[in-house]
Amino acid sequence: MTVVQAVLEHPITAAVMARVPMPLRLARPVLTRDNAKENRQDAWQRLRTETEAVRYRAVRGVVEAYGADGFVLDVGCSQGILQEGLRYARYLGVDSFPGAIERARVKEDDRTRFELAEATTYRPDLPPDVVVLNEVVYYLPDPLGTIVHYARRLAPGGVVVVSVYSRAWACRRLLRRLARELEEVHRVEVSSGHLAWSVGAYRPR
Ligand SMILES: C[S@@+](CC[C@H](N)C(=O)[O-])C[C@H]1O[C@@H](n2cnc3c(N)ncnc32)[C@H](O)[C@@H]1O
């Protein structure tokens, strides 16, 4: 884990982030630099801990509710931890970090693919039943715009599943804006210790 992540996950920082109105765009440069460092260190292995497993179970549950028999596009998939144990007919994971995609590719089979791609501009070959962004939007220059970009490309009845840390002021604000822009069809809150996440499913109105 990087120093930034350790600080972010500390209970005192979590309490401050919950109250201080700091927009995501101000935090993004620090988070993006840290993201690059985490990628270089292969630090995403920390997402395999029991604390994080609670969130992965919740995200898999919402994704499967809409995509167990369909096409799931996992944006910012890293090495595809979410894919492990997920039910789907077709899965495509995309990430802009080559090392993550290289690691993920050992899991490829006739239903499962990983591609190197930029999340903000990627256009899937077929309309997905589910597009999932799990702990990714913090790193995007226009989180809401990117979510809407995917919402416009869904198969009929499809959803975009967004999971974010839900106690920070910036994330609560993003979730309010998201619920105004798209129809929120499903939302669960999960917590583990002092950390909590929102897992929501959205579709165009
Ligand atoms: C916290 S990890 C996400 C983990 C993953 N979604 C999962 O469920 O295990 C963030 C990932 O987002 C990717 N990412 C960040 N910005 C991106 C962008 N603009 N395009 C594609 N991937 C991006 C990073 O390379 C990193 O792998």
The predicted model scores a pTM of 0.92
> Tens digit of pLDDT for each residue in 152-172?
999 999 999 999 999 888 999
Q: Which of 158, 166, 162 is nearest to 192 (CA)?
A: 166
Give how many domains the chain has, as a whole number: 1
Interval between CA 199 and ligand 1 midpoint (Å): 16
> Tens digit of pLDDT for each residue in 93-149?
999 999 999 999 999 999 999 999 999 999 999 999 999 999 999 999 999 999 999
| Alpha-helical segments (H) within 87-154 | 98-104, 143-151
104 lines ligand 1 (CB under 6 A): no
What is the Cα–Cα distance from 191 to 184, expressed in whole angstroms? 20
Interval between CA 30 and ligand 1 midpoint (Å): 15
Q: What is the span of the domain harbouring residue 106? A: 3-203
What is the Cα–Cα distance from 47 to 125, expressed in whole angstroms? 29
Nearest-CA residue for atom 26 of ligand 1: 78
CATH number at residue 133: 3.40.50.150
Position 73 scores a pLDDT of: 98
